[in-house]
Structure 1
Amino acid sequence: MSNQRVLITGAAGIVGRLMRPRLARPDRVLRLLDIQPIEPAAPGEQVEIVHGSVTDPAAMTAACRDADALIHLGGIAREDSWERILDVNIDGTRTVLEAARAAGVPRVVLASSNHAVGFRTIGEAGPDGLPADSSPRPDTYYGVSKAVVEALGSLYHSRFGMDVTCLRIGTCFERPADVRGLSTWLSPDDCARLLEAALAVEQPGYRVVWGVSANTRAVVSSREGEAIGYHAHDDAERFAGDVNGTLPDLLGGGFCEIELGRADPL
């Protein structure tokens, strides 16, 4: 049996760099795409490095060739001007999905965000947490783009039968930076577990799943993740003594207050 080839867009970004060693397997080739420089392959590492943009149809067509799965992390990861968000996050995702469709890539994992529902209140979460398929309440242009990413994923599943899993990622860093992060944190190891579950689940269809760890203070549902075999191991509570402040009323935290279109959010 040939090795599984997984295309990862945005491989030079924060999450992409964290996932590269965690998704490496002897039977898997990671095809890493970004417009930024990517570290060359280490000895024994099975990677293919592609310099290209998610907004370039030709580059994406070539990158999707012979791929067994696609993890789409590429894009602007913060608030920015509407023009840039539209070009990179919205039009770029459509370009990526169209290239994957044309190449016959059967399975796609799309990086969505908690900011697609950032104006939902913590109080409306309920005893089981805020469901992963809660309707959009974006907090920024960036949040709007992630709501559109989910909608595009739904369209490409319904129209073309592509298996699409959208991950509403919370806060994926080595450690949470504030009190909000104690509820939204997704540890890098748990992020890799979530991606592996999305790649392995049989007949995923179209799903929206929360990307958070097993946090004591979590306010979002874990049921959808568990349904695809994602079982988080980590808890942000061990960092509680290192952060200050209070939990915001709105899920999006500071993103709900910044100026729309500003490129340097809180």
Structure 2
Amino acid sequence: MATGTTPTTPAARGVLAPGRAAISAPHLRTDRWWLSPLVTATALTIFIIYATWRAFANGDYYSAPYVSPLYSPCLASNCTDMNGGADWHLFGAWWGLSPALLVLVFPLGFRLTCYYYRKAYYRGFWASPPACAVAEPHAKYTGETRLPLILQNVHRYFFYLALPVAGILTYDVVLAFRDEHGAWGHAGLGTLVMLVNIALIWAYTLSCHSCRHIIGGKLRHFSAHPVRYRLWGWVGALNGRHMLLAWSSLISVGVADLYVYLVASGVFDDPRFF
């Protein structure tokens, strides 16, 4: 080191970067800004723990005529006999593992790459940033330009994969109007649970930003495409409620699976309306 020079220090980043206001506090918010990311992280953690347990449980996911949305369609030959349901046995015994692991990758990938869920777990788990006007604690931020977060850009393709899964779950709901002997005209509490669940899944799926872009994107003149414009307007209205639909559908999937589990394990019998 030359005589008379001083050691150099790394340039400060974030709120301490040159040109920023010289405020010692990391932020000036006095409200409970931490509550929202805390609730988000807690709720997502509870669902992740529950869904992981159910996915590896490999049991109590079918009770005629109901099948858990976490296990449908059943693609392995070691599935429980679903009496004509969506059990296609395409992958053999799947080494004895739970058949849920074959199908969950599609709705899970769709939700993990969803724009709202990115915001939720970026803030709730990674504090990137934890809240508006609260600086993130990371010294460097590269966004979604590098691995692994650059893979978030496959969201549109997961949307295409999520559509047939939603269609199959709709088929399961139709079958829920049969009794355990296959006769039509059955309706129980489970039928209502499955019906509400698929309605919320479709609403969440169609409110996706990718769906909105596919329907109305790259159009120069809406007047020349009145049908697509009308559909774009409907999807846009749903998109404005994307956060609510994301949480509602996530909860409904958990409730539907829990209901099937409780009935299949004999905790209670499905109340019949007719």
User: TM-score of the superposition, structure 1-length normalised?
Assistant: 0.24
Is the radius of gyration larger for structure 1 or structure 2? 2
User: TM-score of the superposition, structure 2-length normalised?
Assistant: 0.23
Flag the structure with more relative contact order, 1 or 2, with Cα contacts below 8 A and sequence separation at least 6. Answer: 2
Question: More helix per residue: 1 or 2?
Answer: 2
Question: More strand per residue: 1 or 2?
Answer: 1
